[in-house]
Amino acid sequence: MSAHTETLAAADIPYWAVLLIQSHDSGELLTDYQWKLSTEALGGCYDIPRNCTLADLAATLDVNISAASRLRHRAE
C-alpha cells in the first residue's frame, strides 16, 4: 500500500482508499498440525459411517485425544 501511495503522491494525484482487502493462501491459515489433522480427518472422519475416530487422528499426530480435539476445533 505504501508504494502505491508514494507513487500517487509523487505524481500529485489525489486518492481516497475506500476498501482494503488482504487475501491469504488457505494453507497459511492453519498451523502444520491443524493442516495435517484436517487432511487426515477428510480422509474418513467426516464420512458416514466414519472410517476413523478422534483416537485415530490423535494416534496419527502422536498426541493425546484431548489435544487432537482442541486442534480439530481450532482448524474447523
Delimit the domains of the chain by residue range: 2-75
Non-local (6+) Cβ contacts of 60 within 8 A are 36, 37, 40
pLDDT of 34 higher than 80: no
pTM: 0.50
Average pLDDT over residues 6-31: 77
Q: Within 10 Å of residue 32's Cβ, how many Cβ atoms?
A: 8
Q: What is the share, in percent, of the chain residues with pLDDT greater than 90? A: 5
pLDDT of 12 higher than 70: yes
pLDDT of 62 higher than 80: yes
Non-local (6+) Cβ contacts of 74 within 8 A are 34
CA separation for the pair 51, 14 (Å, rounded): 60
- Among 7-16, 19-28, 38-47, which stretch is predicted with the lowest mean pLDDT? 19-28
